[in-house]
Amino acid sequence: MQFGITKEQEKLLDKNYQEALKDVRFERLVAKLKWSEEEVKSRTTKLQDTLEELSHCKECKGLFECKNAYKGHVSMPKKEEGRIYFTYLPCKYTKKSAELKKAKESEEKIHERARMKDIDNKGDKKRNKVISWIVHFYNDYDASKTMKGLYLHGNFGCGKTFLVSALFHELEEKKNATIEIVYFPEVLRELKSDWELYDFKMKYYQSVDLLCIDDIGAEKVSEWGRDEVLATILQSRMEQNLTTFFTSNLNLEELEQHFLMSEKGDEKMKARRIMERIKQLSIDMEMISENRRI
């Protein structure tokens, strides 16, 4: 009998263990672990929890529908140097999310260091038209002038954000421009989660000299995000003649469809108003080029 365990408790553990063995999955797990019978008996419930969580994972389509106790993880048994414990191991979706986050952080560091001298204008003629526009914009930039920004759209990873970042940082250092490059899906998440700073951030986005709304069209569309956040920022910047840039994987026609939440007439009008503001603020340019993230 185990230390501190009464005969009644030992009988209950044995009963639970015998019942659990009727499950083929439990039997296979026990065989794989190669634990002693006593070790398994005292941890039958925890092992059954592991099997339940593994079954959840088989049917799971993403972190958004995870049913496990610790989201995106599975409680798994471990035995090291005679000590048995349970640890949470990340599922494939958690691993993928971590990889994407690491890649995004790495990319952000590259963008933070980007300068115009770093722009590669060799070997890819498809970028030259955009690069030429950026050089002219830099040379002509005057904060007192009304200057249209750029709606730069193209394939994933072709360097859209890098080019805008290089231009913005150069203007910040050499011409004292105040700049902000915002990843639009993240902006919406931050504004929704931090209402105390909502007014401050909105006023800042509406007043900074140069604003780039990065990856517009990648966000999940909602009336609040479209009509209260984006439309307000764009309208204010349009009224103040402030320069605004956009990057997107969608062309203007595709972006308008993205903003449609239904085929109702008022929805079409709201989507069209957003597009008119974008067209008023920027020049449309396409850049289809090699994926530089690979």
Average pLDDT, the chain: 89
pTM (2 d.p.): 0.63
Query: What are the b/e assignments for 147-158, b being 16+ CB within 10 Å?
Result: eebbbbbbeebb
- DSSP per residue, 20-55: HTTSHHHHHHHHHHT--HHHHHTTHHHHHHHHHHHH
Distances in Å between the Cα of 202 and the Cα atoms of 94, 186, 187, 198, 246 are 32, 14, 10, 6, 17
Distance CA 98, CA 114 (A): 24
At 220-247, the pLDDT tens digits run 899 999 999 999 999 999 999 999 999 9
> Residues 247-256: what's their mean pLDDT?
96
pLDDT above 70 covers what percent of the chain? Answer: 91
Residue 253: is its pLDDT beyond 50? yes
> Residues 191-214: what's their mean pLDDT?
93
> Residues 96-113: what's their mean pLDDT?
70
1 falls in which pLDDT band (50, 70, 90)?
Answer: very low
Rounded to 5°, the CA angle 151-208-234 comes to: 50
Contact, 191 vs 229, CB < 8 A?
Answer: yes
Residue predicted with more confidence, 15 or 159: 15
Question: Checking DSSP bridges between strand 282-287 and strand 73-80, what pairing results, if any?
Answer: unpaired
- DSSP per residue, the chain: --TT--HHHHHHHHHHHHHHTTSHHHHHHHHHHT--HHHHHTTHHHHHHHHHHHHHHHH--SGGG--SSSTTEEEEEEEETTEEEEEEEE-HHHHHHHHHHHHHHHHHHHHHH--GGG---SS-GGGHHHHHHHHHHHHH--TTS---EEEEEESTTSSHHHHHHHHHHHHHHHH---EEEEEHHHHHHHHHH-GGGHHHHHHHHHH-SEEEEETTT-SPP-HIIIIIIIHHHHHHHHHTT-EEEEEESS-HHHHHHHH-SSSSHHHHHHHHHHHHHHHHHEEEEEE----TT-
Distance CA 3, CA 6 (A): 9
Which domains does the chain show, CATH number per domain?
Answer: 7-94 (no CATH), 114-287 (3.40.50.300)
At 117-172, the pLDDT tens digits run 877 776 567 788 999 999 999 999 998 899 999 999 988 777 899 999 999 999 99
